[in-house]
DNA sequence: TGACAGACAACTGTATACAATTTGAGGACG
DNA sequence: CGTCCTCAAATTGTATACAGTTGTCTGTCA
């Protein structure tokens, strides 16, 4: 594994767990010192994060953590709705029985996850196993970007145990729909899945912004 | 303008005009020598092209010009169909009269373009002016990526004067639909626009691949 | 007091030099 | 004759050093 990749995952985690405030400048040398690498791999990692949309870049000024607004969040979820439906429509007819077995294993892995990091990773593997079954590489890449952009909020969502158990139940329903090869129902379940998540995150965002007025 | 940006545009042009064969390795030092810069900005440019999908990267192996297959091409166009329809649905209700005036000017610029480079750039400005009117930044970014990925083929398409005049006629129809605020018709026109282009490119690809069997 | 010019500090961008990895050629061995 | 191992050349990845840009701070003048 290269230093740039390690720095990338570490930085992404930092941004996602909220260790870095939105709008904050990411000073290259500080990051380099923090992770014990030089500035070159740091720059590469920052560039990749820029293409993912987590940070933004201004030439000769630097890199900054992008601040996601509520409208941005709804846009991401709307685009996910469109593209995931497309992926599911392409994937379901192509599913074989051993694919289904794989999905079941991945769903169990989500339930068995220890910490938050594991949980989000397992959750992602579960969903993308389905998306990748569509055999549309570009589509998967776009979806990955959209998921990256909303990862911050997803880990927020998973911190509540109420949400975790809801997710487990929804995954079980999805598995049933997959077994039945019921494409439209599966899409509807995904829409509901996202709707719950976005509604919860939106309420959190609205609540969070208030107290900051008097710091 | 930074060296990385200059290298990026130069490299992109090289890939798009076909100066670099698909699958070919992009040796960093050669590129650096060619453009009179060091390898660092070259790497940054290559990374950006990777995020655009024009080149692909294998750690410790290098960067390679991605070879677009026919299935890849259809995927790109299918995704454009989905996302452009979404953009148009969001944009049309928000259009103001001066927006329409802008579009008309941009359409004229497409007709007045001198060379191929100008033409593709003007064409892009025309279409993206509409997409951007949707006010969905993420969506615009995704569309830009998809357009980047199919730029090679678009310049191929524009080389034929038959296609050029067809495009001009189609743009005129689009302008009419925009003036009428006829969203669904505008979407249908876009679908037809793309269908023509993809059909022509596909036929070219099929024709091109034959003679290479006996090099 | 306020506006403006110049210098300084902080940071980014780039070049050069060095380390690590891959790959292919050549030879030893079954 | 084919397979596996070794090693060197080529290329990528990374560190360090230097150049260029931006923004701020201070001091001067109206």
Which residues on A lie below 8 Å from B53 (Cβ)? 138, 141
Dump pLDDT digits (tens) for A37-84.
999 999 999 999 998 888 999 999 999 998 877 888 899 999 999 999
A58 closest-nt by C1' vs CA: C12
CB A193 within 8 A of CB A170: yes
Dump pLDDT digits (tens) for B35-60.
999 999 999 999 999 988 889 999 99
Which residues on A lie below 8 Å from B76 (Cβ)? 138
Which residues on A lie below 8 Å from B82 (Cβ)? 82-83, 86
Sequence-ordered list of residues with C-beta below 8 angstroms from that of B171, at least 6 positions apart, any chain = B107, B110, B126
Asked whether the beta carbons of residue A83 and residue B86 sit closer than 8 angstroms, the reply is no
Dump pLDDT digits (tens) for B13-30.
888 776 788 889 999 999
pLDDT number for residue A208: 58
Footprint of strand C on the protein (CB under 7 A): A 25-29, 39-40, 43, 57, 59-63; B 2-4, 36-41, 44, 60-61
pLDDT number for residue B208: 58
Asked whether the beta carbons of residue A149 and residue B139 sit closer than 8 angstroms, the reply is no
What is d(CA B84, CA A14) in angstroms, rounded to the nearest whole number?
34
What residues of chain B have any CB closer than 8 angstroms to a CB in chain A? 2, 5, 40, 43-44, 47-48, 51, 53, 59-60, 72, 75-76, 78-79, 82-83, 86, 136-139, 141-142, 145-146, 149
Asked whether the beta carbons of residue B138 and residue A5 sit closer than 8 angstroms, the reply is no
- Of A16-25, A116-125, B61-70, the one with minimum mean pLDDT is A16-25
Q: What percent of chain B has pLDDT over 90?
A: 70
pLDDT number for residue A210: 46
The span from the first CA to the last CA of chain A, in angstroms, equals: 42
Is the pLDDT at B151 greater than 90? The verdict is: no
Distance B40 CA to D19 C1' (A): 15
* Residue B54 DSSP class: S
Is the pLDDT at A211 greater than 60? The verdict is: no
Distance from CA of A72 to the nearest CA of B (A): 8
DSSP string, B118-168: HHHHHHHHHHHHHHHTT--HHHHHHHHHHHHHTHHHHHHHHTSHHHHHHHH
| Mean pLDDT for chain B overall | 90
What is d(CA B14, CA B7) in angstroms, rounded to the nearest whole number?
10
Dump pLDDT digits (tens) for A95-150.
999 999 999 999 999 999 988 888 988 999 999 999 999 999 999 999 998 998 88
Return positions of chain C under 7 A from a protein CB. Answer: 11-17, 21-23
pLDDT number for residue B156: 81
**Among the ranges A19-23, A85-89, A163-167, A205-209, which has the highest mean pLDDT value?**
A85-89
Is the pLDDT at B215 greater than 50? The verdict is: no
CB A55 within 8 A of CB A65: yes
Sequence-ordered list of residues with C-beta below 8 angstroms from that of B100, at least 6 positions apart, any chain = B175, B178, B179
What is d(CA A194, CA A73) in angstroms, rounded to the nearest whole number?
11
| Mean pLDDT for chain A overall | 90
Q: Kindly indicate the confidence band of residue B211, based on its pLDDT and cuts at 50, 70 and 90.
A: very low
What residues of chain A have any CB closer than 8 angstroms to a CB in chain B? 2, 5, 40, 43-44, 47-48, 51, 53, 59-60, 72, 75-76, 78-79, 82-83, 86, 136-139, 141-142, 145-146, 149
pLDDT number for residue B212: 39
Predicted TM-score (pTM) of this structure: 0.84
Is the pLDDT at B210 greater than 50? The verdict is: no
Nearest 5°: the CA angle A118, A133, A110 is 20
Q: What percent of chain A has pLDDT over 90?
A: 69
What is d(CA B46, CA A174) in angstroms, rounded to the nearest whole number?
40
Distance from CA of B88 to the nearest CA of A (A): 14
CB A66 within 8 A of CB A53: yes
Considering only CB atoms, A48 lies closest to which of B47, B60, B141, namely B47
């Amino acid at each position: 594994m290269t230093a740039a990749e390690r720095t990338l995952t570490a930085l992404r985690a930092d941004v996602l767990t909220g260790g870095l405030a939105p709008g904050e400048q990411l000073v290259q040398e500080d990051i380099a010192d923090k992770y014990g690498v030089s500035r070159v791999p740091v720059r590469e990692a920052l560039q990749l994060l820029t293409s993912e949309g987590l940070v933004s870049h201004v030439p000769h000024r630097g890199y900054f953590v992008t601040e996601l607004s509520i409208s941005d969040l709804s846009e991401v979820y709307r685009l996910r709705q469109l593209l995931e439906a497309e992926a599911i429509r392409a994937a379901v007819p192509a599913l074989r029985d051993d694919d289904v077995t794989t999905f079941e294993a991945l769903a169990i892995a989500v339930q068995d996850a220890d910490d938050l990091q594991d949980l989000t990773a397992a959750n992602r593997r579960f969903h993308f196993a389905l998306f990748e079954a569509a055999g549309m590489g570009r589509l998967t890449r776009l979806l990955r970007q959209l998921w990256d952009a909303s990862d911050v909020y997803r880990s927020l969502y998973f911190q509540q145990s109420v949400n975790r158990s809801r997710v487990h139940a929804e995954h079980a329903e999805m598995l049933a729909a997959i077994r039945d090869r019921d494409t439209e129902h599966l899409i509807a379940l995904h829409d509901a899945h996202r709707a719950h998540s976005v509604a919860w995150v939106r309420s959190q965002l609205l609540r969070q912004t208030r107290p900051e007025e008097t710091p």
